[in-house]
Amino acid sequence: MTNPAPDNSNGSHGPATEEQAVLAAEQTAITLLNASDDMALLLDADRRVLVMNERLLKVLGKTQAEVIGRSIYEVAPQPWSRDREDELDAVVETGGSVRTEVDMMDHTVELRAYPVFDETGCLRRFAVFLRDVTKYRRTRRDLLQAEMLRLELQKDRDLFKRQAQLISFVSHELRTPLTAIQGSVDLLDTYGDQLDAERRQTHVGRIKEQVEVMKTMLTDLLTMRSLDSGTLKINPQPVELVAHCGALVAATAEHAATEQHFHLNASELPGPVQLDPDFLDHILNNLLSNAVKYTPPNGDITLSLEHSTDAADGSHWLLLHVQDTGIGIPQAAHARLFEPFYRAENARRHPGTGLGLAIARTYTEAHGGTLTCKSVEGQGTTFTVRLPYRPA
Ligand code: ADP
């Protein structure tokens, strides 16, 4: 290997012994750089090459003689360029080492640059080490791609599983209301003229009730399908929340078959808010109809509205609580409540699909909100819808 050109960048010529000491030190540097597994080079303060190790010379296709004393910007236009600030500028600026990743001849290279100071504290050299990390980066990229593919496959599999569940659900669950309808229709058909008006009315009422059950199931199933196909679009518009919720509670009370007490608590909510009213209706109707379904006669059902400010970041939220004094939810069921088709043990004697909460949560999240539940079995349940507060 050729020795480096003597470095006169400090402009002084010391005594022969000092010069020899410098040369000996530089020779040691060459030996060390060649022993390194990395590509390595030593530059003077003007960024001219003092020494370059064999690995880097090979990559650049140059000999030591061709690079010594020449500016790094001519020798290796990549990754260095005079046209931009580079890692060596950062070393000068900070007086410390720099570690970064750069592109070099279609490879990704980890670059580490260290300052070398003389005894007066003046920056005299840059020691630079380069390590080709392309393979590692590629492996990481391949792994990421494989992981993304796996997630896509998992999504397809989940969708397929859900569709299979839908089919099996339709065939099993629709049988119950259909059988009830069939029974009443047969009875009316065969003995209709022998039944008194009251009994006939009971069977007509049963048919109507079961038709309603089937309609709810089909609506839930269709909604679930459209959610799965990702066609959900929200259409926010100004909504007078207190009046809107008042009307929802009144409509629920009117349709409730059992005697329950309905309440609306609305603290001060200034002016209309931006919301998709259809989404809001879907979420609240679901929670209110569940409250009605799972609360015995004489129970209380309350919809409360409040405005809250997050203490941590000052963001504004709307809180809508639907509270009932009904059968409650067993602790063991809390974790699975929002899964499609899941129904708690104590709810099974009431009709239902187990889809309502999954749909309500998807709608809430589409609005940037959350839907949570607090409940004690036998005491009652409170669902809380938390939506971003956007004054209209
Ligand atoms: P569905 O009511 O049709 O079964 P949902 O998805 O609306 O389906 O609710 C899932 C389950 O959550 C219900 O089956 C029931 O176990 C429980 N649940 C929901 N709301 C209430 C409530 N207000 N009180 C008690 N249990 C409830």
Running DSSP on this structure, what letter comes out for residue 261?
Answer: E
CA of 324 to the centre of ligand 1 (A): 12
Q: 353 CB under 6 A from ligand 1?
A: yes
- Rg of the chain on CA atoms, in Å: 38
Cβ(352) – ligand 1 distance below 6 Å: yes
Residues, the chain = 392
Long-range residue pairs from 165-169, CB within 8 A, at least 24 positions apart, any chain: 165/340, 165/341, 166/221, 166/224, 166/225, 169/221, 169/341, 169/353
Q: Are the C-beta atoms of residues 295 and 235 closer than 8 Å to each other?
A: no
Mutate to test the pocket of ligand 1, among 220, 284, 290 (most ligand atoms within 8 A of CB): 290
Mean pLDDT of the chain: 85
Q: Is 337 in the pocket of ligand 1 (CB under 6 A)?
A: yes
3-class DSSP state of 272: coil
Residue bearing the CA closest to ligand 1, atom 13? 343
Distance 200 CA to ligand 1 centre (A): 32
Ligand 1 centre distance from Cα of residue 296 (Å): 14
Are 41 and 51 a contacting pair, CB within 8 Å?
yes
CA of 287 to the centre of ligand 1 (A): 9
According to DSSP, the residues that pair with 45 across neighbouring strands are: none
Distance 209 CA to ligand 1 centre (A): 19
How many angstroms is it from 82 CA to the middle of ligand 1? 68
Find out whether the beta carbon of 288 lies less than 6 Å from any atom of ligand 1.
Answer: no
| 326 Cβ closer than 6 Å to some ligand 1 atom | yes
For the Cβ of 213 lying below 6 angstroms from any atom of ligand 1, the answer is no
Chain segment 137-161, per-residue pLDDT in tens: 878 788 888 889 999 888 888 877 8
Residue nearest to ligand 1 atom 3, measured at CA: 352
Per-residue pLDDT of the chain in tens (392 residues, 90 and over written 9): 444 444 444 444 445 677 777 667 777 777 877 887 889 998 999 999 988 998 899 988 999 899 999 999 888 767 777 666 788 888 888 888 988 888 887 788 899 999 988 888 888 889 899 998 888 887 878 888 888 999 988 888 887 787 777 777 777 777 878 888 999 999 999 988 888 989 999 999 989 988 887 887 788 777 777 776 666 788 899 999 999 999 999 999 988 877 899 999 987 776 799 999 988 999 999 999 999 999 999 999 999 999 999 888 889 999 999 999 999 999 999 999 998 888 999 998 888 888 899 989 988 988 899 999 999 999 999 999 999 999 88
Cα(182) to centroid of ligand 1, in Å?
27
In whole angstroms, what is the distance from residue 366 CA to residue 344 CA? Answer: 26
Give the mutation target among 357, 374, 375, 385 for probing the ligand 1 site: most ligand atoms within 8 A of CB.
357
| Contact criterion met (CB below 8 Å) for 200 and 238 | no
User: Is the CB–ligand 1 distance for residue 217 below 6 Å?
Assistant: no
Please give the angle made by the CA atoms of 47, 50 and 51, to the nearest 5 degrees: 125
At residue 84, the pLDDT reads 66
CA 248 to chain CA centroid, nearest Å = 32
Q: Which residue has the tokens 């809180």?
A: 319
**How many other C-beta atoms lie within 10 A of the C-beta of residue 215?**
11
Neighbours of 126 (CB within 10 A): 22
Tell me the CA–centroid distance for residue 269 and ligand 1, in Å: 29
| Residue 353 CA, ligand 1 centroid: distance in Å | 9
The β-bridge relationship of strands 380-388 and 316-324 is antiparallel
Task: Check residue 140 and give its pLDDT.
Answer: 79
| Per-residue confidence (pLDDT) for residue 83, from 0 to 100 | 64
pLDDT digits (tens, 9 = 90+) for 297-336: 999 999 999 999 988 888 999 999 999 999 999 999 999 9
Nearest Cα residue to atom 16 of ligand 1? 344
